[in-house]
Amino acid sequence: MMAMMMTSTSISTSTAQTLTGAIPPEIHCAQDYESLARRFMASPSYEYVAGGCGNDLTVAANLSAFSQWDIYPRLLRDVTAGHTVVTIAGQTFAHPVFMAPVAFQQLAHTAGELESARAAHAMQSCLISSTLSSCRLEDIACAAGPQRWFQLYFQPRHGDTLDLVKRAEDAGYSAIVVTLDASIQAASHRAQRAGFSMPSDCVAVNLRDHAIPEKISLGPDQSRIFQGVMRDAPTWRDLEWLMSQTSLPVWIKGVLHPLDACSLQQRGVAGLIVSNHGGRSLDGAPASLTMLPAIRAAVGPAFPLLLDSGIRSGSDIFKALALGANAVLIGRLQMYALSVAGALGVAHMIKLLREELEVCMALAGCPTVPDIDSGALIRRVTPDQRHAVFPITN
């Protein structure tokens, strides 16, 4: 007997009632939103979203890291009690597919983050709302479900940073995700070549009331980077200060080095997000997936670890879970689906990813997320390595 998976464009009765619009018939898997988004977004905006920084070396590394692993099919295991529920740092989630903080979502849809928040709510996905959102964090909180976290960028003045944290607390966000890997971002050559500039009506509204910091004048021997931009970059002291200011759990996003992971763990953060910002920060940084096993080994089996950068399918999610992540964050696919079909598109994309993950779990004989471990994967062998891995005996 063979069961065929049909790609369904229906979500669920309750979701379909609240999210209106249409899913184009070309969408058969979550990644299809990527190619279709080209038709729905202005070309410079698409290039801005799709590109990384510099020459996209890390964007490419993120994608190829997943293709270096294959998943073992396992036979005759009963998975009929299977589910995707995960418990992370004491919180239970219906599935491990979270929405990454993605700034300026009005580039993809006029209602921007409000649509993504509604989709996340409908699909029981944890939403991480960006400091640089184009809708107010309070409005996003109203549209989002109970599982919502706030992503914080340190501001040049502690008072402004604290203002964001207090607003997030008041709006009912249940964790603060501090992004530390993007104090400065190299320009995206891809976006530059496409002539991208941020539209004047797409602004970081959460920061609107913050006074513009005074311009510093640099001496002739001073660097625009070190003494200029990086003067406002947070340090370990700032992180300690922040943790003393909030009772919310503090997660750190942008961790790639096992030693940083250990130092952060020792300082009492709630968990870490292994990420290279989707290749948008340091071009030439390793793929997040490549660093995941070393970071899991460094922090131990029980410490909460999430991963993002390069996830485009349910099998990518399976591989991240197998290599030590407790859940994953979806970045660009969120923007692509938003541009194609608003909240309905984002909800559909989450549904597809979840089902793609469930198919992998079923065929790999892993009925629950804790059943997925590195034994489920094998490094892909190239044709010239094949004889070394599987010696021919006759």
Ligand X SMILES: Cc1cc2nc3c(=O)[nH]c(=O)nc-3n(C[C@H](O)[C@H](O)[C@H](O)COP(=O)(O)O)c2cc1C
Query: Three-state SS for 134?
Result: coil
Measured from the CB atom, the residue of 116 and 179 that comes closer to ligand X is 179
The reply on whether position 103 binds ligand X by CB under 6 A is yes
Q: In the chain, which ranges are E strands? A: 69-71, 86-88, 91-93, 97-99, 127-129, 148-152, 176-179, 250-255, 271-274, 305-307, 327-330, 377-379
Measured from the CB atom, the residue of 253 and 351 that comes closer to ligand X is 253
CB of 40 to ligand X, least distance (A): 15
A 10 A CB-CB count for 81 gives: 7
Q: Give the range of 17-25, 224-232, 239-247, 309-317 binding ligand X by CB under 6 A.
A: 309-317
Say whether 109 is catalytic.
no
The secondary structure of residue 112, as a DSSP letter, is T
List binders of ligand X among 279-298 (CB under 6 A): 280
d(CA 237, CA 265): 15
- Report in angstroms the alpha-carbon separations of 53 from 91, 289, 300: 34, 18, 32
Q: Which of 95, 118, 190, 253 binds ligand X (CB under 6 A)?
A: 253
Q: Give the range of 39-47, 139-147, 323-331, 342-350 binding ligand X by CB under 6 A.
A: 323-331
Beta bridge partners of 99: 127, 330
Q: Give the range of 12-20, 234-242, 264-272, 303-311 binding ligand X by CB under 6 A.
A: 303-311
Q: Which of 15, 58, 151, 326 binds ligand X (CB under 6 A)?
A: 151
Closest Cα partner for 209 from 301, 138, 306? 138
The reply on whether position 109 binds ligand X by CB under 6 A is no
Q: Which of 41, 100, 242, 360 binds ligand X (CB under 6 A)?
A: 100
How many chain residues are in contact with ligand X, going by CB under 6 A?
A: 24
CB of 279 to ligand X, least distance (A): 7
Query: 280-291 burial, b if ≥16 CB within 10 A, otherwise e?
Result: bbbbebbbbbbb
List binders of ligand X among 166-195 (CB under 6 A): 179
Catalytic residue (choose from 158, 277, 348, 387): 277
Q: Which of 132, 137, 256, 269 binds ligand X (CB under 6 A)?
A: 132
Helices (H), 248-331: 258-266, 288-299, 314-322
Which residues of the shown chain bind ligand X in the complex (CB under 6 A)? 49, 62, 100-103, 130, 132, 151, 179, 253, 275, 277-278, 280, 308-311, 329-332, 335
